[in-house]
Amino acid sequence: MRGLLKSMGVTLAVFARKPVTREYPDTHRPLPERDRAFPLLLWDHDLDEPFCTGCHACERACPVECMTVLMKDNPNHRTQGGDSTRRKIVDKFWIDYARCMRCNICVEVCNFDAIAMNNTWQGHETSVYDRADLIQDLPQLLAEHKAGAIKPWVPQ
C-alpha cells in the first residue's frame, strides 16, 4: 500500500506541474542555430551568383549518393568581362531529399562554404504527394538563401 501511495504522490506532483507539450502544427518550437534539416546552396549576394563552383567534393563525400553536380565555365569571370573571381561555376545541381540522410558531411567537405543545412522549420516540413517532387534542382536549392530567408550555420 505504501508503494502505491508513493506512486500516486508522484502523479499528483506531476499533475501540478506546468505542461511541457506543444500543439505542434499550430505552435513551432524555436530551433537551435545548428539544427540540421536538408542541405541548401548559398548565394553570393556581392557577386550575384552561387558560391558553388561545382567541384564535386560533396558529391564524392555523400554516403548515400543523393547529389548530382555539373560544372560550367563562369560567364561572369574576369576573363569573360565580368567581375567574378570564380573561373568555374555550378551549372546544374540536384539533391534528392528523399535519399539524403542529413549527416552534414557535404557541409564539412565544401571548400567554398557554398552548402549549408537548412536550420528552419521550412526545411523540415517538406512533405509532398510524389517522391519525384523531393528532387530539388539548382533554383530551388538557391531560392531560400537568395531571398535571405535563412541564416546558415557552418562549423568552425
Partner 1 sequence: MTTVPFPHEHEFETQDLMINMGPQHPSTHGVFRMVLQVDGEVVRDVVPYIGYMHRGGEKLAETMDFRQGIGWMDRTEYLAQHNAELSYVMAVEALAELEVPERAQWIRMILCELNRLSSHFMFTGAFGTDAGIFGTAFVYSFREREVILDLFEEISGDRLMYAYFRPGGLAWDVPDNFARRVAEVLKSTRQGIKDMDGLLTENEIFRARTVDIGKISAADAIDWGCTGPVLRASGVPLDLRRTEPYLYYDQLDFDIITGTNGDVYDRFVVRVEEMRQSVRIIEQCMERLRPGPILPDRLPRMLRTPPGEVYLRTEAPRGEYGIYMVSRGGNRPHRLKIRSSCFANLQALRDMTIGSYVADAVVILGSLDIVLCEVDR
Site residues, partner 1 (CB under 8 A): 1-4, 6-7, 9-11, 13-14, 20, 32, 34-36, 61, 63, 101-105, 108, 117, 119, 153, 155-156
Residues in Cβ contact with 13 at an 8 Å cutoff, skipping those fewer than 6 apart: none
The cell for 21 is 507539450
Nearer to partner 1, 61 or 134 (CB): 61
CB of 70 to partner 1, least distance (A): 23
Q: How far is the CB of 128 from partner 1 (least distance, A)?
A: 22
Distance in Å, CB of 20 to partner 1, minimum:
6
DSSP letters of 45-109?
Answer: TTTTEES-----HHHHH-TT--EEEEEEE-TTBGGGTSSB--SEEEEEEEEETTT----SHHHHH
69-75 CB contacts, 8 Å cutoff, 24+ apart: 69/93, 74/49
The answer to whether residues 118 and 131 touch, using CB atoms and an 8 Å cutoff, is no
Name the minimum Å distance from CB 73 to partner 1: 26
Instruction: Name the minimum Å distance from CB 26 to partner 1.
Output: 19
Helix-then-strand count for the chain, H and E:
5, 7
